[in-house]
Structure formats: structure tokens, C-alpha cells
Copies of this chain bind each other. A is one copy, B any other.
Amino acid sequence: MHGMSEGARSTAARLLAALEAISNSRDGLTVAEFARALGRDKSIASRQLRPLVDLGVLERGPDGRHRLGWRLFTLAARAGDQRLLLLAPPVMRRLSDLSGERVHLSVLHGREVLTILSESSRQMIEAVDWVGRTAPVHCTSSGRVLLFDHRDDDVRCLLGDERLAVRSSAAPATAEDFLRRLCEARKLGYALVDGEFDVDLVAAAAPVRDFSGRIVASINVSAPAYRLKERLWHTGRQVASAAAHLSKAISSQADH
């Protein structure tokens, strides 16, 4: 009952305590239950809950129970974007040092893959800036990873019925061909691509997920085949590890 009586000093702390009290309840709280949970008078509960409902932070069901509202989700979604851009660079840099190659962060952009961050390696020879540019989803490791959680039907619809525009002989020519490779990558947990986007390029990618498990980005290593092909499997595991680390960091308190 007295669960977590704590010294809530600030009004912000009291408000957050209110939200968490409701969050911790399974079916929401009525005004009286809410008042008891906070150990305050029910009048306070009534007057505190109303503006929150008006703002959309809480929802009041027809049964008079208060539950968390959609507004919190829109905030959390933006928090995810901000934290991704904030926390990705150090993870990417470490991966770049480990692999010795250039590391990219990409998101799904329509039916293409958009690179939004890039961390350079010490190498002289490397692909020029891809930031802001898009690449086909079907012949890149990032594209494969970003479609991890899509159902086969959605993938087919995304790729279109026609034959895929092949950039090289190694790239998948049909949607079914792509789905086979996607299935392989799913089992593996990360995607390896050899000469599909460009005959001389190999790449490894892994998915970055937010707090709800949704794939929000892909982290990938791309390099000339002669330099990376031999150890591509090893790099794949490194990328997967980095992506998992970034996924955890986005939704957890302590970073670095």
C-alpha cells in the first residue's frame, strides 16, 4: 500500500510520480484510487488529473479510469530520434576503430535507404560522403536490415512487382530472390552483402531498435572487397554487437 513513499519535493517530481502511479496500474486509476496511491486528498487528485486529461497526457475512459495517453507516445518517439542522433556517433566511432573501416547510420526513406550519419576511418581509400544520399533498398546491407521486421507481403509491395533494377550480377533480381537473402539475414541477426551494390564493395549491417523494439535505423560497415572480404564474418558480429549496444543505450539511463 504505502509502496514508495518518497520525498517528492518539486512539483515536477510530484507530476512524474502521478504519471508513474498510473503507469504502474494495470487497468488505470480512478480519482479515489489515484488519491490513495499518492496519499493525498481526493480533491487534489481530481484537480491534478483534469488538466492532464485535457492536455492528452492522460486519457479518461468511460469507466472513469485514467490511463496514459497518446501524447506521451509522440514525446517518446521524438526522444528516440534525439537520442539516436546523440548516442550513435560514439558507438560508430568505436566500431570504426575496431573494424578500421567507415561506418554509416541509415534509415528507411520511402523505398530507399538514407544515410544520416557517417564516421570515418583512418583509411585513405574509402567511399566518399554518403550522408544525405539514398541507395536502393534491395542491394544494400542496410536495406536488408531495415526490412527485418517487415512481413513478406509488405516487402513484395515495397519492392514492386517488376524486376529489380540490378546494379551488379550479385544483386537479387527478383523480390523472391531478395526475400531468400532477407530470411538468411534474419536468422543471422545481421546482413552481409558481397558485391551487390557495387562489385568491389562488401558490407555488413545490423538493426538498431528503440524502446518498443521497432527498428529505427541500421548501422553498417562498408569497404572495398579486397580489404574487408576476408574478415567480413567477423565484422558482421562486430556490427551486430555495436547495434545491440546502441539499441540498449537509446532506452537506458546510463550511457558510455
Contact = CB atoms under 8 A, between A and B. Distances in A.
A97 B158 contact: yes
A125 B213 CA distance: 20
Contact of A123 (B52, B57, B76, B107): B107
Interface of A: 9-13, 15-16, 19-20, 23-24, 26, 28, 48, 51-52, 54-57, 59, 61, 67-86, 89-91, 93-94, 96-98, 107-111, 114, 116, 120-125, 127, 131-132, 149-151, 154, 157-158, 210-214, 216, 251-253, 256
A212 B82 contact: yes
A68 B51 contact: no
Most buried by B among A20, A70, A75: A70
Contact of A211 (B26, B73, B122): B73
A131 B70 contact: no
A74 to B, nearest CB: 4
Given A12-B55, A16-B55, A109-B122, 9 more contacts: A56-B110, A70-B80, A71-B132, A74-B132, A81-B124, A90-B150, A97-B158, A109-B121, A151-B256
B75 A158 contact: no
A150 B110 CA distance: 33
A194 to B, nearest CB: 26
Number of chain copies forming the complex: 2
Nearest to A77: B211
Most buried by B among A28, A56, A79: A79
B78 A23 contact: yes
B212 A110 contact: no
A70 B251 contact: yes
A68 B97 contact: no
Given A89-B214, A158-B94, A28 B74 contact: no
B93 A154 contact: yes
Contacts of A210: 73
